[in-house]
Structure 1
Amino acid sequence: MRAPRLRTALAVSAVAALALTAAGCAASKRDPEAPKKDTLVFGVAGDAKVLDPSFASDGESLRVARQIFETLVQPEEGGAKIVPSLATSYTPDSTGLVWTFKLKSGVKFHDGTDFNADAVCFNFNRWFNYSGLLQSPDVSSYWQDVFGGFAKSESPDLPPSLFKSCAAKGADTAEITITSVTSKFPAALALPSFSMSSPKALKDFEADKVGGTAENITYPKYATSNPVGTGPYKFESWDTTNKVVKLTRNDAYHGNKAKIKNLHFKTISDLAARKQALEAGDIQGYDLVAPADVKPLQDKGFNVLVRPAFNILYLAINQSGNPALAKPEVRQAIAHAINKKNIVDSKYPPGSTVAIEFHPSSLPGYNESVTKYDYDVAKAKSLLAAAGYANGLTLKFHYPTEVTRPYMPAPKDIFELISADLKAAGITVEPIALKWSPDYLNAVTSGKNHDLHLLGWTGDYADAFNFIGTFFSRAKDEWGFNNPALFDQFKKADQEPDVNKRAELYKALNAELLKFLPGVPIAHGPPSLVLAKDVTGVKASPLTDERYATAEFK
């Protein structure tokens, strides 16, 4: 889950904080009838963007969506393997094109309407028939990444749709037909962006009435104040002034009810301030713990949960914005100029590794034999000279502010280290710092006015295509190149049904990518989240798919 294309979330009022503290003080062994703590406040680094998961691609929006909504399939708790969720089983026919999903019975949306096969098809047909602004990559990015085009695609750059049709074969059976065999299906249906929404709520709150322009999108009420799913928590309010999203327990939930009644996501953009809020008891958890804070927090008795590294930070190189960057020698010079080990050693937590390609080593298709660009300033200078830039080169370098990502624990610090490395090799950078959402994400994923930028990805499911295919399987403004031969290789790999053969195709693709060098892979880091001393029951997920319905105060 990435932040690409991404472009709103949270602060609890003083009254709520005081009420929570009072509840904690009142609960004691001498007073068994005293009220228990009923609110978990989780501190997040940035605001959510939108509450309709089909429009979301940023981590904070998806974090909220995971508590309100459910998908047909989901990652296993604490892992990446795909398991049933609202679907109890999912089987293909002999062609691999027609998938039958058996559904849980007795499930209700938060508005009391039935979840069934008709609801499944309503959601799929809604996404497939998006038009106008809904086809903007900033609105329906995950649909486009996974399914490609629409029923009537309005851009010639969109490929044919992977989705063909959905049919209800009884209340508990949905039949989904796709147009080609792919590694993405059904695994990608675990993405929160493909959550099941109430058809009634979608119609009542005019969910598809997106307004504004491609540069300044405005969202309808469903996406800002009326999201309706089937999950263990339901939406209560979103205070965009104080930056807090409030959820409350769904007492009609079809599974195990949430153990804590209220769940709030509060934006505290400064990492040190999040730590202080936890220690003061103002919040009961936060994400993306600073590497240097892990052991001190553990020593104080806080519950630090370390996720397995399932991510990538990269330096993207936009070949269309500056003619110099279209030259392979210049891209190679940039790669040789960066001291990646220094970045990992100084800015990442223990267990982090230098990246040599664009996905983690745990995925089939990882290739140890790719071209490696060791730190070598002299070689970087000679490559620049060979490209005609012996006297140096000036590049625009974007980096984000007001954010911490699992793959990017200290954006400004990492930017400064890379800038110094580039300067030593003869490349001067013009720093451009922008607020993460929407300014930074808009700037670096669209248009030509960017040369270098930092971005990354946390995997959505356990397949290499989810990383390298998301980045490089078709032309994108972020990278600014068009390579039909490379795109054809991706198509072949994605459509290979044999997993072992597919892994070999991914290995070949990784080798090709590191020769072509569209950007520089930097690091893989195991990010941490921390919970209060008395909060237990949450499992860390490599996909950042933590489920807070299992949390409880002890």
Structure 2
Amino acid sequence: MRKKTTLKTMIAAGLILGCGLTHAASNLVFCSEGSPAGFDPGQYTTGTDFDASAETVFNRLAQFERGGTKVVPGLATRWDVSPDGLTYTFHLRDGVKFHTTDYFKPTRDFNADDVLFTFNRMLDKDMPFRKAYPTEFPYFTDMGMNENITGVEKVDDHTVKFTLSTVNAAFIQNMAMSFASIQSAEYADQLLKQGKAKDINQKPIGTGPFVFSKYQKDAQIRYKGNQNYWKPEDVKIDNLIFAITTDPSVRMQKLKKNECQITAYPRPADIKPLQQDQNLQMPSQPGFNLGYIAY
């Protein structure tokens, strides 16, 4: 099985790849490999996009355990599955705050309306917000979730029921994937009223450990630690900076000079020397797929 090093593993665990830092720091620089296409996780399929949004700004109902593939509670504290395997009932976490920024100030906590908005937007092309900002959700549709989910029902403010047309043993795992990141329905309503629906992809609002601050294409992305995060022990830094560095050899040079403390996607030829460098750490976890060449 292919292994990969992920930003989620390194930041959420407080691990540092570069030299000179062995504990929590006020600033952390990640030499990322490229600019994200946007910040709406549902629209994209690449690690570059997910690192900049899903793994920093957002949460999901279920999430993967840090450093592994076991599914654990996220914005849902638990879920029930009907005997026929066609109904999943999620019990939502109380007291979760959406980010407060200069472009959005929430008036309520996370609730079932946010789950309904997130998934109905992907399911219903006639939804007003989707009409205002037409887009596709390739991961969601490629996995057939647009056809298998026949309904998303609000039972009460903290309970949501999903109904499927066929049994899907991987449904909970799918709900932990980046594309299933939960958006704010209140923020979407604000954008719709302002005629700025597209801003959902450029000025993200989530419940995750980092609050989006600034983006300069091909240069940097800045985030602030979320002081109201529902898992305060996971917010170990004040400022997270993505220093966008497309050349892998330059990323490695910056890492060794401590100009960044984390990087990703080294050249294959660099992996062994990096593993042998006692000043560096290379945490990894199993990947979710296998790569192969057919001929």
Q: Give 2:236's aligned residue.
A: 259
Aligned to 1:223: 201
1:37 shift after superposition: 4.3
Rounded Cα–Cα distance in structure 2 between residues aligned with 1:92 and 1:86: 17
Shift of 1:305: 2.1
Aligned counterparts of 2:120 and 2:60: Cα–Cα separation in 1: 16
Amino acid at match of 2:215: W
**2:93 counterpart of 1:104:** yes
Q: Is the 8 A contact 2:88 2:162 kept in 1?
A: yes
The one-letter code of the counterpart of 2:168 is T
Q: Which residue of 2 aligns with 1:82?
A: 71
- By relative contact order (CA 8 Å, sep 6+), the higher-ranking structure is 2
Q: Using a 3 Å threshold, how does the CA distance of structure 1 residues 162 and 311 change in structure 2: closer, same or farther?
A: closer
- Aligned match of 1:284: 261
Please point out which of 181, 185, 188 is paired with 2:171: 185
Q: Which amino acid aligns with 1:234?
A: V
The question of whether the paired residues in 1 share the 8 Å contact of 2:61 and 2:75 is answered with yes
CA separation in 2, counterparts of 1:204 and 1:282? 39
Q: Is the 8 A contact 2:31 2:263 kept in 1?
A: yes
Gaps of 5+ in 2: 1-19, 101-105
- Deviation of residue 203 (structure 1)? 2.2
- The residue that corresponds to 1:64 in the other structure is 52
Measure how far apart 1:148 and its partner are.
4.7
On the 8 A contact 1:206/1:220 being kept in 2, the answer is no
Matched, 1:43 2:13: no
- 2:30 alignment partner, SS class: strand
CA RMSD of aligned residues (A): 3.0
Q: Paired residue for 2:116?
A: 121
Give the TM-score of the pair, scaled to structure 2: 0.80
Query: SS in structure 1 opposite 2:246?
Result: coil
User: Which residue does the alignment assign to 1:413?
Assistant: none
SS of the aligned residue for 1:205 comes to helix
Per the alignment, residue 145 of structure 1 pairs with: 142
Which of residues 74, 81, 84 is equivalent to 1:92?
81
Q: Give the distance between the partners of 1:99 and 1:308, measured in 2 at CA.
A: 27
- Aligned-partner residue type, residue 159 of structure 2: T
Structure 1 unaligned runs (5+)? 1-24, 28-35, 150-160, 211-218, 316-518, 521-554
Q: Please state if 1:312 is matched with 2:274.
A: no
Distance between the aligned counterparts of 1:60 and 1:265, measured in 2? 11
Mark the structure with the bigger radius of gyration. Answer: 1
**In structure 1, C-alpha distance between the alignment counterparts of 2:174 and 2:38, rounded to whole Å:** 20
TM-score normalised over the length of structure 1 = 0.44
Distance 1:114 1:271, change over 3 A: same
The 3 A distance-change label for structure 1 pair 41 and 206 is farther
Q: CA deviation at 1:73?
A: 0.5
Residue 293 of structure 1 deviates from its aligned partner by 2.6
Cα distance in 2 for partners of 1:168, 1:238 equals: 35
SS at match of 1:196: coil
Matched residue pairs, number?
Answer: 263
Task: Give structure 1 regions of 4+ aligned residues with deviation exceeding 6 angstroms.
Answer: none
